[in-house]
Chains A and B, each alone.
Chain A
Amino acid sequence: MDEVTSTAHRAAAVPPPVRRIVLDDQPTVVTPGANGNGNGNGTRTPAVRFAASDTAARERMRVEELTIAYAGRVAVRDVTLPVRQGEVLSLIGPSGCGKTTLLRSLNRLTELTPTATRGGRIALDGQDVDELDVTLLRRRVAMVFQQPNPFPMSIFDNVAYGLREQGTKRPGKRDLAPRVEEALRRAGLWDEVADDLGRPALRLSGGQQQRLCIARALAVEPEVLLLDEPCSALDPRSTQTIEDLIVRLRAEVAVVIVTHNLQQAFRVADHVAFMYLGELVEYGPAADVFGNPRARRTREYVSGSFG
């Protein structure tokens, strides 16, 4: 086991606390239902293979042995994960450890990066996402980004944007109005914008913009909702509104949220996946990962030793 010890203030009179960063520990993945043979301390548990009983009916997506590299540099290594409806899955871990890459691969946004290559399998309802038409896949697996990014058009048009089909069939405003209202209600924005849906969306506040982006994603009625640090640019009040929203949404859609904020993950997540340097170190129910982490690196990360 290789340990890197770094001292931050060498010149200081009092020796600073030693921060240990473990670089090549084996992943310890604990699935719900498995009776914890990986109790940390470097116990080697092979990369996850889910037992048949874990493949519950609610499982919407499944990532198997996923490896993603940018120009040969591996960003995600051999990750296997289920994404279930009725629960919020939170991906946690330090910056640059592949959380966002993993998230983006779920609706094939990684393909927009020319240098990205992918191995392994991602399935949506049992079907390989590579076999699906990419525009259809992205309607079923919608995404909300770190920065609020409403389109330069009215609030109404923003929400209706995903609903308007490309090509010949173009539903009119009258057909769209109920669906736009519904999406805005689900995102908890309706009461604030109902009186003026024609307002440019970029005039809204940051928190409202982000909820608009969630409404926009919900309007296409996705099965899976991907959230990439949706609150990192927002104030605490907007963050709370959005967290409440995420918890409410999980009954209808499978939610995957990437977050740097451990407290946030603790508040919203049912299951937590801890990623470190591209590898899935630990996966399990949120209470276990935070309360009784099995892998040593998880314990250190959760307790704030590094990250």
Chain B
Amino acid sequence: MSAVAPRRKGAKESAATWSVLDRVGLAACWVAGIGLCVVCLAIIGFMFVKGIQYVRPDLLFSRTIASSNEAGSGGYFDPLVGTLLLIVIGIAIALPLGIGIAVWLTEYGRPSGLARLVESGVEVVAGTPSIVLAIFGLAVFQGKLFAFLSFTQQGGGVWGRSFFTAGIMMSLIALPLIVASTREALRSIPNHVREASYALGKTRAATIRRVLLPGARPGIATGATLAMGRIAGDTAIVILLLGGSALTTQGNVPVLNILKGGGSTLTTFVYANSPAGEGNKPDKAYAAAFVLLVIVVALNFGLDLIGGRRGRTAWTK
């Protein structure tokens, strides 16, 4: 059946005719691409083999007990909840802020001096090591003004460490990623799409809300996923601003008492339990690391589905 279009193969271009340098370059590209896959598979495989055997459902849901004794130290419920809580708080703060900044930068961005300032501000935040953010956060949140975010110790000092304060600093880690991906997504929407909306008598606000943000949604979802991964993986802020302890509560108001209290995340749990860090329970460390990996990978796939990154046709420029 070759009536419509005979499937003929012409002589293919062969890399054999290329210069040596071009061939080396091509080989390097292949090696780099395949190498990344190998490394990625190695990480997942290693953590799977080392971790899966210690991931027991009862440990997932049992409280952590500070003990140097393997059997009596409990599970990793606390760090698991801590990780998820920080992700939720960090993204909840960073997402609206980041989208707002990106919309202002791409759709308004005037005066241009201010836009440049905002841009470099975002870059500085992106480049600041999280331990620096953590120390800065601690200094700020120990101020009397922010006592409501954690609690006031006996003697009047503000503790400054809580899910609130750690979550706020985590949002700073998430912010640049969300700003960058939202900006990129907005920029990739061609101008004639905006004009088409104006040409129907729509205001700029309506255009942003009804056309541009829905169009940028896949990009925003990508940024949020990356940001969640960063929050889940950060350790410095957790140690300084969350305490790295089991879940502790402050006050009697439900939910709020947890948010005002301290805790830990899977990252600090790994650090505290691994012999490479401070602990003597390598099995639990591997298991927690595996759970962390599963969370991050699941986030990636989950948001892929929600964000609708697949099967979308883009506009022509």
Contact = CB atoms under 8 A, between A and B. Distances in A.
Q: Do A and B bind each other?
A: yes
B193 interface: yes
Contact of B193 (A135, A139, A149, A162): A149
Given A145-B192, A162-B201, A203-B313, A152 B214 contact: yes
B157 interface: no
A147 B200 contact: no
B252 interface: no
A166 interface: yes
B316 A161 contact: no
Contacts of B211: 151-152
A193 to B, nearest CB: 16
A162 B215 CA distance: 17
A143 B210 CA distance: 19
Contacts of B203: 135, 166
Contact of A135 (B201, B210, B311, B314): B201
Interface in B194-243: 195-203, 206, 210-211, 214-215, 217
B315 interface: yes
Interface in A135-176: 135-139, 142-143, 145-149, 151-153, 161-162, 166
B192 A217 contact: no
A233 B197 CA distance: 20
B315 A149 contact: yes
Nearest to A163: B200
B201 A202 contact: no
B198 A217 contact: no
A147 B198 contact: no
For chain B, the bracket of interface size reads 20 to 34
Contact of A145 (B195, B202, B210): B195
Contacts of B197: 151, 161
Contacts of A143: 195-196, 199
B12 interface: no
Nearest to B217: A152
A233 to B, nearest CB: 6
Contacts of B310: none
Contact of A109 (B195, B215, B311, B313): B195
For chain A, the bracket of interface size reads 20 to 34
Nearest to A136: B201
A153 B214 contact: yes
B9 interface: no
Given A138-B201, A216-B200, A220-B200, A147 B315 contact: yes
Given A135-B202, A162-B201, A145 B313 contact: no
Interface in B106-147: none
A153 B193 CA distance: 13
A211 B214 CA distance: 22
A162 B190 contact: no
B195 A147 contact: no
Interface of B: 190, 192-193, 195-203, 206, 210-211, 214-215, 217, 311-317
- Counting from the closest, the 6 A-B pairs by CB-CB distance are A162-B200, A135-B201, A139-B201, A143-B199, A138-B201, A152-B215
Interface of A: 107, 109, 112, 134-139, 142-143, 145-149, 151-153, 161-162, 166, 200, 202-203, 213, 216-217, 220, 233
15 contacts: A135-B202, A138-B198, A138-B201, A139-B200, A143-B196, A145-B196, A148-B316, A151-B196, A161-B202, A162-B201, A162-B202, A200-B312, A203-B313, A216-B196, A216-B200
